[in-house]
Amino acid sequence: VPYLTAPHVVLLASTSFEYATRFFDFLTDYDPDFTNYYNEDVAMSNQTSSDLLPKVAGQLCYLSFGPNRTHDKDTARYLTNIKSQAHGSVLEHASATFLCYGISRSLTHELVRHRHASYSQVSQRYVAKPRFVERPEFQTDEFLHNSFILHIEAAQANYNTLLVQLEVTHAEQHPDPNLPRTERLKAVRQAARSALPNCTEAPIIVTANMRAWRHFLEQRASSYAEIEIRRLAIAIYDHLKQIAPVIFDDYELTPEPPFGPLDWTLTTPYRKV
Ligand SMILES: Cc1cc2nc3c(=O)[nH]c(=O)nc-3n(C[C@H](O)[C@H](O)[C@H](O)COP(=O)(O)OP(=O)(O)OC[C@H]3O[C@@H](n4cnc5c(N)ncnc54)[C@H](O)[C@@H]3O)c2cc1C
């Protein structure tokens, strides 16, 4: 019976800001005095798209593209000010999409409570090849590990038996030969899945903006969070700090038992910006 022992997080997409081309067109068209902005900031910028787009969105509010603006090299100062004043709406312009797998159905039940993200998850009504996830606590203890293996083998066997029996009963109750095979399978799998445990793997694609990701990290990479989702949150944070190093530069990492590579918590002076 296949099972996984750690969350896998794949960065599928993130914001790409057409800074040097499209935004420059707007600046020169709007006010020729803004032309220097290109020479001094845009052309020389080494900030990431996900850090710069929120900064520029904030600047647009006051059309601050003249000589007294905060230059791009001072993006950290600019965004720290945004965070400290809880003006986090500008962070919503940048987003990131992750494929997460090696995570359990109980984890994703917690994940999807975050209402500002968008989700696409493997359907247990259409897909009948379950894999399972071993909890961290079970991996280091022989008794718990053996118990987990027995549990998923029994769950898999029970699930397979139900698939067979449900197909028989469904055919008896719906003898129509024109019923599409996919409809029959869906009816069978939606009933059989009730035998699948919370530790069934539940791959999911999640898209959220940076403000929503921050809130997720503050709740789920905390010492109060459940250990499996905390490890997922840290794996996501590892990507986010590459995509948007300035937006996430205020988080402090603290080691958390049981001290595996993903066992950290995050704290920040700027919660819920
Ligand atoms: C340690 C921990 C334990 C938990 N235990 C439980 C539990 O026992 N039972 C349980 O049911 N849940 C539990 N949860 C889930 C928790 O209640 C939230 O559903 C989840 O953390 C999502 O956070 P959020 O509500 O802040 O909203 P998100 O959906 O992440 O939204 C972010 C913010 O947007 C605003 N917002 C979003 N939607 C609305 C709205 N409709 N109206 C007004 N403002 C809105 C709020 O300010 C909210 O904080 C737990 C969470 C954690 C971290």
- pLDDT tens, 229-273? 999 999 999 999 999 999 999 999 999 998 899 999 999 999 999
Return the pLDDT at 19: 84
pLDDT attached to residue 1 = 95
Q: Residue 266 Cα, ligand 1 centroid: separation in angstroms?
A: 18
**Ligand 1 pocket residue status of 109, Cβ below 6 Å:** no
Verify whether ligand 1 is closer than 6 Å to residue 62 (CB atom).
Answer: no
pLDDT at 89: 98
Q: Residue 225: CB within 6 Å of ligand 1?
A: yes
- Residue 23: the pLDDT is 86
| CA 11 remoteness from chain centre | 9
Q: What is the 3-state secondary structure (H, E, C) of the chain?
A: CCEECCCEEEEEEECCCCHHHHHHHHHHHHCHHHHHHHHHHHCCCCCCHHHHHHHHHHHHHCCCCCCCCCCHHHHHHHHHHHHHCCCHHHHHHCEEEEEEECCEHHHHHHHCCCCCCEEEECCCCCCCCCCEECCHHHHCCHHHHHHHHHHHHHHHHHHHHHHHHHHHHHHHHCCCCCCCHHHHHHHHHHHHHHHCCCCEECCEEEEEEHHHHHHHHHHHCCCCCCHHHHHHHHHHHHHHHHHCCCCCCCCEEEECCCCCCCCEEEECCCCCC
Which residue, judged by its Cα, is nearest atom 37 of ligand 1? 115
Q: What is the pLDDT of residue 159?
A: 98
Residue 113, ligand 1, Cβ within 6 A: yes
Q: What is the pLDDT of residue 237?
A: 98
**Among 215, 218, 227, 266, residue to substitute to test ligand 1 (most atoms within 8 Å of Cβ):** 215
Q: What is the pTM of this model?
A: 0.96
Output the pLDDT for position 252.
98
**CA 225 / ligand 1 centre spacing (Å):** 13
Predicted pLDDT at 32:
86
Atom 18 in ligand 1: residue holding the nearest Cα: 113
Q: Provide the annotated active-site residues.
A: 220
Task: Supply the pLDDT for residue 61.
Answer: 95
The Cα–Cα gap between 7 and 134 comes to: 10
In the chain, which stretches have pLDDT less than 70? none
Nearest to 255 by CA among 272, 226, 234, 229: 234
Q: Name 130's Cβ contacts closer than 8 Å, sequence gap at least 6.
A: 124, 155, 156, 159, 196, 200, 201
Q: Which atom of ligand 1 is closest in space to residue 115's alpha carbon?
A: 29
Pairing of strands 8-14, 95-101: antiparallel
Report pLDDT for 105: 98
- Is the distance from CB of 214 to CB of 20 less than 8 angstroms? no
The tokens describing 172, both together, are 């008896």
Given this model, what pLDDT does residue 123 score? 96
C-alpha distances out from residue 50 to 43, 170, 221, 242, Å? 17, 51, 21, 10
List Cα–Cα distances, 71 to 52, 61, 75, 76, 139, in angstroms.
Answer: 11, 16, 7, 10, 50
